[in-house]
Amino acid sequence: MKLLPDLGWMAWTWQTAVFFGTIGLLLVAMTIWEIVSPGGAPRDGILGLRTTRGDRLFISLLGAACIHLAWVGLVGPNLVWALGLSLLYALAVFRWV
């Protein structure tokens, strides 16, 4: 008996499913956060941009993609450290951007 659905029709691995599932959960969490605390008070960060929570999430996701691609190209396929760098980057973006 399989616990996970067969994702072979899209050539997905379980890692790909976890990746997109995580993005989906982030969007749900941001929606709940917005419902509980509307507005999010846009602010001017170190980049000189006025950003909201959603903008900072988007910037974090773009940065994480760049970090992971650079890691694969320069270091290799072990992405554990790239994930750690991406989480630190996201924390910095939510704090200072």
Q: Are 14 and 28 contained in the same domain?
A: yes
Q: Are 27 and 59 contained in the same domain?
A: no
pTM here?
0.79
Q: Are 54 and 88 contained in the same domain?
A: yes
Q: What secondary structure does DSSP assign to 24-76, as a single string?
A: HHHHHHHHHHHHHS-S---EE-TTS-EE-HHHHHHHHHHHHHHHHHHHHHHT-
The total number of structural domains that make up the chain:
2
Q: Confirm whether 1 is domain-assigned.
A: no
- The model's pLDDT over 39-94, given as tens digits with 9 standing for 90+, comes to 778 889 888 889 988 899 999 999 999 999 999 999 998 889 999 999 999 999 99
Q: What pLDDT shows up at residue 57?
A: 92
Q: Give me the domain span that covers residue 97.
A: 42-97
Closest by CA to 43, choosing from 93, 86, 91, 89, is: 93
Q: How far apart are CA 51 and CA 55, in angstroms?
A: 5
